[in-house]
Structure 1
């Protein structure tokens, strides 16, 4: 295992040899996390998103001197921000050595991440051991984890606010992610089968630049580009400059194997693909295998059959928490129509509140849109207050 980062505010919870949903072992696994506020206050869990890091990726929604908030306020709540596997802070290809390090790191599901976070909260921080309930909020992949928490540990979650995300990766979202993955893998010379640092001593920059250009057509909406949002909000003029100064700058700052690992987790996001809810098409039928996902339950987006759709409905109906689902009006990943389906399956426990913004997926984070950040903050604050949290 490589050295941890130097940010003293980041802590590390050791999971040991952690058994995954697949049955594989993630050796010497750990979760990176940061806390805000006093542990005597009600707990809000706020997981990171695809490529996002704890401070640079998530802190924009937490109340600080730089940006006061009313929702995630450390004066009122104990806020825990855990990093997902693969983000470079928790156990990731980039910081793990040995036979199961780098490109060989075992794949992790959203279920695995949430089970690890549950262990952090209950065993590491002593939260939930006396029956107290938590709130879970998150953007994008963080929203997927919020849905997962509410379905995986229904008795522990009082409130959930997933914004610009989904409870299950759709067919359309899967296709987009195939293009993201293909951008890296097409750079065969630079990627070197995942051993680029060992063989070339650098990231596959051609592939990472291509990844950024794929993302460029998805992260922001058509309306944002039409209204020259990059010029207005970022001071960047011209489409090529947008590609280079914004998207390639972002993508080339990442580790390729980390991005592919998190992408796999995202593609396989599905709250019904867990023992509590899954039908036979998604679970290994052998009882001695402990209800792990079978090969038939992996590598497939959306509902593969009627049985899968029934399991998805069971999972959403199994949520006991009140859930405020906040899609972006022009989000190309997670459209409001998908959120409405989730709400209909959930019934009275679900509420949809659309973020009326031209920013597309970026309406949900990471804080670039000041108006949308304010709207999210006020919505979360109101939702918590209405539900006595």
Structure 2
């Protein structure tokens, strides 16, 4: 069944790289009355818009009766402009900045929002939340990045090299380098995927991801059996990880992966690459929520981010979960959903409307 969402036409969208997405569009979905305080809740790596729904409900802080909730989709997710819905090959290099600029145009010009209550998100959605804070510092009262980072760490880039290379190798391409696309020794530029190549490559991505998405303790305690109901490890690898990535387009994944690898809120004016200055440029009250056992967004990185924000801006709390990165989404761990929602309730009460 097709997923319901709307699109906003951006025209020819010039990117930080100088490249252009012709006739670009951004996909989005809204919940609640536009007269209510606005929440911007961006999508995450590989996720469709519907993959954000788990944190929205009348029984949660993100209630459509309290807020006008906007979920914008990343370029490359298959709903906004992506390789799978355009004839662009290769697809232009897109930054987090490019995505957030498009989201800002959507929110302000199309939806008529002058000020937002909050921007929040998981994983790459967290990266976009930090980006909003540095790029449009007066636009929102609050940012809540959970299980994500303001700048992609070196270790995180290495993890993503593994994901990228697992996918590219099926096409006899190799990585052109960290934060770059792939190159082929035969000189090919565009990539057309056969069904067999697609299946082999996406299954490989699933198995690489499986070692990073959840923690060592998650596997040691066999939560894939006790909490998720899989009969054994191989059942989990095949029917959770491989099955998920088989639903994706390989070129879409590569576009979003390159965006993620290059994530850095300081790669814009006026910061000019000064990461600490970009963190100090955030004015919105920030609740930064890493997970104790996240293998690629560890609490140490979040501690550094909060320590470099202006006094009184940032606050750190840590998911006590053994689910690793998956503590922050997309909703499989009910205890972590409750923990996160309770933190949102508490923080939103603490920060007055219009605080920024």
The normalised TM-score by structure 1 is: 0.84
Pick aligned residue for 2:77 from 87, 109, 118: 87
C-alpha contact 1:221 1:332 (8 A) present in aligned 2: yes
Q: Does 1:152 align with 2:135?
A: yes
Other-structure match for 2:107: 121
For the residue of structure 2 that corresponds to 1:135, the secondary structure is strand
For the residue of structure 1 that corresponds to 2:134, the secondary structure is helix
Other-structure match for 1:386: 350
Q: Does 1:366 align with 2:356?
A: no
Q: Does 1:36 align with 2:35?
A: no
State the 1:189 CA deviation: 6.2
Tell me the distance in 1 between the aligned counterparts of 2:64 and 2:348: 14
For the residue of structure 2 that corresponds to 1:138, the secondary structure is strand
For the residue of structure 2 that corresponds to 1:12, the secondary structure is strand
Q: Does 1:176 align with 2:163?
A: no
Gaps of 5+ in 1: 280-310
Residue pairs, 1:50-61, within 5 angstroms? 50-55=45-50, 57-61=51-55
Other-structure match for 2:300: 337
C-alpha contact 1:152 1:276 (8 A) present in aligned 2: no
State the 1:204 CA deviation: 1.6
Deviations 1:281-311 (A, max 9, x none): xxxxxxxxxxxxxxxxxxxxxxxxxxxxxx1
Tell me the distance in 1 between the aligned counterparts of 2:213 and 2:329: 11
For the residue of structure 2 that corresponds to 1:383, the secondary structure is helix
Residue pairs, 1:196-275, within 5 angstroms? 196-197=192-193, 200=194, 204-275=198-269
Tell me the distance in 2 between the aligned counterparts of 1:335 and 1:159: 22
**Paired residues, number:** 339
Q: RMSD over aligned Cα, in angstroms?
A: 1.7
Other-structure match for 1:324: 287
Rate the CA distance shift 1:194–1:247 in 2: closer, same or farther, 3 A: farther
For the residue of structure 2 that corresponds to 1:331, the secondary structure is coil
Rate the CA distance shift 1:227–1:6 in 2: closer, same or farther, 3 A: closer
Gaps of 5+ in 2: 174-183
The normalised TM-score by structure 2 is: 0.92
Other-structure match for 2:318: 354
C-alpha contact 1:203 1:256 (8 A) present in aligned 2: no
Deviations 1:257-281 (A, max 9, x none): 00000000000000001122014xx
Other-structure match for 1:72: 62
Other-structure match for 2:7: 12
C-alpha contact 1:164 1:327 (8 A) present in aligned 2: yes
Deviations 1:93-128 (A, max 9, x none): 11102xxx1x41101100000000000011111111
